[in-house]
Every structure is written in structure tokens, then in C-alpha cells.
Amino acid sequence: MSREALLLSDADVRRCLSEPEIVQLVHEVFQAWGEGQFVMPAKVSTDLRRFGLDSAFSAMPGYLAGRKVAGLKLAAGCAHNPAHGLPYIVATIILSDPLTGITLAVLDGCYISGVRTGAQAAWAARYTANPDCRIAAIIGAGTQSRMALRALASFFPFEEARVADISPAAQDRFQAEMEKDLGLRIVKTANCQEAVEGADIVCCATPDRGPVVMDSWVKKGATAIALGSYQEYEDEFILRANKVVVDSWAQCSHRGALKNVVESGRFGDKDLYAEMGELACGKKPGRHAPDERILVVPIGLALHDLAAAGLAYCRALEKGLGVRFKFGE
């Protein structure tokens, strides 16, 4: 048997997958999660800060039974990248034959990673937010925030979206691009508080390692989403939220928004309301009352990336895209 694999560039992947397709795949994967049709160990991270490198790598393996895709996503968050014109998060996806273990494809994962992260935010809101949401607060003006707002705007009839970022230039770019792409009023705010107060949906997608959203800012009835790898909401909000929902408790219990309150013994699995898969399958309702404040922490399932990569691989074979190479015979 020839050990031939397909190498797919960012351009190849974009030619094979549309954003709406990835958004729908994310929902399909959440349903599969709720039905137990997967294998996915918690992601493993390698933090390089103790060696003076502001970078962290995450290895994310998984198998999705319904689509028969297996593989690994390697994602890196590198703080110095934006200064060099590179995205903060870069990713590579490896697809393997689930029967033989042979590598089928190696894909640039940046596009898939960005779109699926935004889609996670949109489904988090779709499952838990009040249906009449009009104002979105976006904390962080990077790629993930763009993808999140694009997906959110496909679900909710927003009147405006507010954006906060430490970089005024980043806010300017975000405003210009999103107003052009979505036809939505984008309001640049002076700080996070101005963005969050009165917002129906709050979405944080930043590399910050300390809280940027305070409990008193988040109104009754709001859905708050934490996409970052570190804590973006202060402890008081996490502990006082009416419901806390995660994508994977195994992952969220040791990284991201909940890490500190879990390690300090103030939050445990008994305090968790649900995983998103349970909401996607209808096993639990997302919201019981319109005034509930709900925190959703979807820090990322490898299954989303692998499902999208599997579809991209099949499309690439049909279109004759990519570069073939052999590991051996």
C-alpha cells in the first residue's frame, strides 16, 4: 500500500469549504458530542513562557464516528506574531485513516480554526441567548472576533455591535471590514465597560491573561461567551452566573475561563449546568428564564476541525487540488 498523502494550503482549503458549511458542521459535531459518537481526549498544551518565548502549543486529537474522520490539530498561540504580520493563532491539521493510521492529508488549519471558533460562539448564543438580542459586545478585534460576529449576525437581528480593543487601529479595521461585510452598525468603544454594559451578548476573544469584563457590567438576561485560552471574566461573574455551560468539561476544568475558580475549589462539575452537546441534542434547555445570566465557555473541540478538514479533503480529491507526496511504500 502506498503511503501517499495530500498537502492542502490555506487557498486550497478555502476553495473547498464555505463559512456557512463550517457553521453547520459545528452544530452537527455538538450533536454528535451529545450523543457520545466520538473519541476526544482533552487537549494537551505546551507553554513556553518559562523559556522567554510568549508562545503556547496545543495538541488536539480526536475521532468523529459519524464522519469516520480521525486525526490531530496542532494549534499555536504566539503573542509576537501580529507585530510580524502573522496571525496570533496558527494551526495545522493532520488527517489519518482510522483503520490503518496512515496519514491521508496535512492541511493549513488557520481558516478552519478561525471559522469554527466563530461558529462556536454563534451556536453558544443560539442555544442560550434570548431570541430578541439587539446589541452585541465584542471584546478583542482580531480574526476570531470577526468570525464570531459574522456567525452571530447570521442568527440574530442585531441593531449594533460594539467593539473594544487596546489597539485603536485594530478597532478601525474591524469597524471598516464588518460594516462593509455585514451592513451592521459597528460602534468603537473607549473601553470594555462601555462595550459590555447593556449588551445582550458579550463575546470575548482575546489573549489577555487577566479579567477584562467585570460582573457588575453584565446585565440580567445576557449571554456571555469566553473564547480565550485564559480568564476574561472576573471570578464574581463566573460564580454568580445563573448557568455555566462548556463545550468539554474535561478541557474547561483545567484551562480557559474556569481554570482559576476550579483550581481554587470554588467551582466543580456539580456547579456546571451542561455541556453544549446536551443543548444541541435537546437533552437540556439552554435558558429557563429571560433574566438569567449565562456564561458559555467553548474553548475548542478538535472534532470541529477534523470534521471540516475531512470534508475539505474529500472536496480537494474531487477538484484535483493540493500537492501529493509519499512518506514511503
Rounded to 5 degrees, φ, ψ at 191 are: -160, 175
Q: How far is CA 5 from CA 2, 217, 224, 313, 324, in A?
A: 9, 51, 41, 10, 6
Once rounded to an integer, what is the mean pLDDT over residues 214-218? Answer: 98
Q: What is the pLDDT of residues 97-106, one digit of tens each?
A: 999 999 999 9
Residues 6 or more apart whose Cβ sits within 8 Å of residue 328: 3
What integer best gives the mean pLDDT of the chain? 95
Question: What pLDDT was estimated at residue 3?
Answer: 86
Once rounded to an integer, what is the mean pLDDT over residues 144-160? Answer: 95
Question: What pLDDT was estimated at residue 1?
Answer: 63
Q: What is the pLDDT of residues 116-129, one digit of tens each?
A: 999 999 999 999 99
Same fold for the pair 3-112+303-328 and 120-301: no
pLDDT at residue 130 greater than cutoff 80: yes
Domain 3-112+303-328 falls under CATH 3.30.1780.10: yes
Once rounded to an integer, what is the mean pLDDT over residues 49-68? Answer: 95
Beta strands per DSSP E along the chain:
3-8, 38-39, 44-47, 55-64, 69-78, 89-96, 103-108, 135-139, 160-164, 185-188, 201-204, 223-226, 243-246, 274-275, 294-297, 323-328
Q: How confident is the model at residue 210 (pLDDT cuts 50, 70, 90)?
A: confident
Percentage of the chain exceeding pLDDT 70: 99
43, 68, 73, 270: which is the annotated catalytic residue? 73
Once rounded to an integer, what is the mean pLDDT over residues 34-40? Answer: 97
Question: What pLDDT was estimated at residue 50?
Answer: 92
* Chain centre distance of CA 249: 15
Region of poorest pLDDT, from 124-133, 186-195, 227-236: 227-236
Report d(CA 191, CA 139) in Å as an integer.
9
In a 3-state reduction of DSSP, which class is residue 47? strand
- Which uninterrupted H or E stretch holds 126? helix 110-128
In CATH terms, the superfamily for domain 120-301 is NAD(P)-binding Rossmann-like Domain (3.40.50.720)
CB 13 within 8 A of CB 112: yes
pLDDT at residue 155 greater than cutoff 80: yes
Which amino acid is located at 34 in the chain? Answer: G
Report d(CA 6, CA 174) in Å as an integer.
35
Report d(CA 197, CA 189) in Å as an integer.
11
Cell reading at 285: 434547555
> Directed axis angle between helix 143-153 and helix 110-128, to 10°?
40
Question: What pLDDT was estimated at residue 195?
Answer: 98
Report d(CA 154, CA 279) in Å as an integer.
19
Q: How far is CA 28 from CA 92, 119, 318, in A?
A: 22, 12, 23
Report d(CA 6, CA 148) in Å as an integer.
30
Length of the chain: 329
Is residue 73 among the annotated active site residues?
Answer: yes
CB 294 within 8 A of CB 97: no
Percentage of the chain exceeding pLDDT 90: 88
Residue where the block lists cell 459590555: 196
pLDDT at residue 2 greater than cutoff 80: no
| Domain range annotation of the chain | 3-112+303-328, 120-301
